């Protein structure tokens, strides 16, 4: 398939619909000791024996810190409308209260280059790389970190203002709270049920505190927050309660306080032993109006109750999975969009801010035939089209990821990119999925230009 096929009557063909690619700072930048940057929790975590596969780290990653200009040229060549990136907090505030002009200048040149090439810029303020000096004071277990986040948001948005088209406060608070502070699989590697839920509340409080700051400093930009969501499905009719709880803890715990001003009762009841102290006024802060929400979708949660009554995920026999064992289930994207539309009366426009698949991608004769990923994107774009036709407002779609990169605790063994990276030479090679994406977008642009 040399391009993705969009239905003739699809809103995905509209020039107003935003197509983009996405990355994050620690996953691609490298240059961890350059430009005035100080360590993040990921620099520290990567040094722990056994924490990351192969002992990998983001020290060099894709060397985007030095290769940013050619990377943006490559992005423009894909024909996308927008680039979603994240800013490294420790590049901007290397020490508590100290602003680093060199860090701001690094991102300013990227933003300016994107705009010069006709690309919209979506900036995420927090994609998990908390400054280590804040972790030393308790990190997201310390309520003060929420206020420090608002200060950081103020520094960034005062500097860039409306130059950033779309601001995102947090990327996937579920992951930073639960994988980082509940299960210990991500930085900072803390394990504890109470800790995970406490971190989640402080993250959401940080989001809420930052929203009015962002609006004041960048009144013409859009402002919102990004959640990962895997819709729950019952293995048998008797397991519907498991599916309902999976949804409640997986994403409603994070979205409900923003859009409903409350935490889901299912979780409050089931996990009363670990629910954090929620101070009066906290939910009013967290539920500040947002212009959009981003949804990162990869797969579904097919679940059942085990013998202890706990919710367990299963992969159905015979299901097609990606290289890392995630079930490919495009219908879940359509179902998720419809469920969100039904649950929230005030649902703002949605961007699909991440969607993609990991492969065991190899170069053969200067080509990467990632046939499974090509089918993955095609089927998920079709599912997105179905959601649009069902009446859900979705304003954009971002492929994850622009290029292979540091995949957190899995190091470099997982390749999510539509562009292959040779980590020895930093050579970038467009995979078949990138070529199909580019060809689709070129065709869409030609349709629009031809009237």
Known catalytic residue at 354: yes
C-alpha distances (whole Å) from 176 to each of 111, 182, 190, 199, 369 are 26, 9, 11, 8, 33
Phi, psi at 268, each rounded to 5°: -60, -40
Which of the following is catalytic: 29, 113, 195, 354?
354
Please indicate if the annotation marks 162 as binding a ligand.
Answer: no
Selecting among 172, 195, 249, 386, the annotated active-site residue is 172
> Is residue 376 a known part of a binding site?
no
Work out whether strand 18-22 and strand 82-86 pair parallel, antiparallel, or are unpaired.
parallel
249 catalytic? Reply is: no
Asked whether the beta carbons of 140 and 177 are under 8 A apart, the reply is yes
Return the bridge partners of 419, or none. 403, 430
Distance CA 425, CA 409 (A): 23
Annotated binding-site residue? 298: yes
Distance of CA 413 to the CA centre of its chain: 19
Residue 140 among known ligand-binding residues = no
Burial 112-123 (b: 16+ CB within 10 A, else e): ebbeeeebbbbb
Say how far apart CA 332 and CA 338 lie, in whole Å: 10
d(CA 116, CA 148): 33
Secondary structure (3-state) at 51: coil
In eight-state DSSP terms, residue 249 is: I
Contact 44, 187 (CB under 8 A): yes
100 is in an annotated binding site: no
Residues 6+ apart with CB under 8 A from 98: none
Distance CA 124, CA 121 (A): 10
- The answer to whether 369 is a known ligand-binding residue is no
- The CA R_g of the chain, rounded to the nearest whole Å, is 21
Tokens encoding 306:
């085990």
| CB distance 167 to 157 below 8 Å | yes
Tell me if residue 234 falls in helix, strand or coil.
Answer: strand
Beta partners for residue 191, in sequence order = 183
How does DSSP classify residue 252? I
Task: Tell me: is residue 181 an annotated ligand-binding position.
Answer: no
Q: In whole angstroms, what is the distance from residue 399 CA to residue 377 CA? A: 8
Non-local CB neighbours of 69 within 8 Å, separated by 6+ positions? 113
CA 78 to chain centre: 20
Residue stretches of the annotated binding site for substrate: 27, 127, 171, 298, 400, 407-408
Which residues are marked as active site?
Answer: 172, 354
């Amino acid at each position: 398939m040399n391009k993705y096929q969009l239905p003739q009557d699809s809103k995905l063909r509209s020039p107003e619909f935003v197509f983009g690619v996405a990355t994050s700072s620690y996953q691609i930048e490298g240059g961890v000791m350059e430009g005035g940057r100080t360590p993040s929790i990921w620099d520290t975590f990567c040094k722990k024996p056994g924490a990351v596969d192969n002992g990998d780290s983001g020290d060099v990653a894709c060397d985007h810190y030095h290769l940013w200009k050619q990377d943006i040229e490559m992005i423009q060549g894909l024909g996308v409308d927008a680039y979603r990136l994240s800013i490294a907090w420790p590049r901007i505030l290397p020490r508590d209260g100290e602003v680093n002009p060199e860090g701001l200048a690094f991102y300013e040149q990227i933003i300016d280059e994107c705009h010069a090439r006709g690309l919209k810029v979506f900036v995420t303020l927090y994609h998990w790389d908390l400054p280590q000096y804040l972790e030393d004071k308790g990190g997201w277990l310390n309520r003060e970190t929420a206020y420090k986040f608002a200060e950081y948001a103020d520094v960034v948005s005062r500097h860039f203002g409306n130059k950033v088209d779309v601001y995102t406060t947090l990327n996937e608070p579920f992951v930073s709270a639960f994988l980082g502070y509940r299960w210990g699989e991500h930085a900072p590697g803390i394990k504890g049920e109470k800790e995970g839920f406490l971190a989640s509340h402080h993250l959401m409080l940080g989001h809420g505190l930052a929203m009015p700051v962002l609006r004041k400093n960048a009144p013409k930009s859009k402002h919102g927050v990004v959640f990962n969501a895997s819709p729950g499905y019952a293995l048998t009719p008797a397991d519907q309660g498991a599916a309902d709880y999976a949804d409640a803890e997986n994403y409603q715990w994070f979205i409900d306080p923003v859009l409903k001003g409350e935490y889901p009762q299912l979780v409050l009841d089931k996990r009363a032993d670990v629910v954090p102290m929620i101070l009066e006024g906290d939910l009013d802060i967290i539920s500040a109006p947002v212009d959009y929400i981003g949804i990162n979708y990869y797969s579904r949660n097919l679940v059942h109750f085990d013998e202890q009554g706990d919710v367990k995920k299963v992969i159905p026999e015979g299901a097609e999975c990606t290289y890392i064992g995630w079930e490919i289930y495009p219908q879940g994207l359509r179902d998720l969009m419809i469920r969100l539309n039904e649950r929230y009366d005030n649902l703002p426009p949605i961007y699909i801010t991440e969607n993609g698949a990991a492969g065991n991608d190899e170069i053969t004769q200067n080509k990467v035939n990632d046939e499974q990923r090509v089918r993955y994107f095609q089927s998920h774009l079709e599912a997105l089209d179905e959601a649009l036709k069902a009446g859900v407002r979705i304003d954009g779609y971002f492929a994850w990821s622009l290029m292979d990169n540091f995949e957190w605790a899995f190091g470099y063994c997982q390749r999510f990119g539509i562009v292959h990276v040779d980590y020895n030479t930093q050579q970038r090679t467009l995979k078949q999925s990138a070529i199909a994406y580019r060809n689709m977008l070129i065709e869409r642009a030609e349709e629009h230009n031809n009237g």
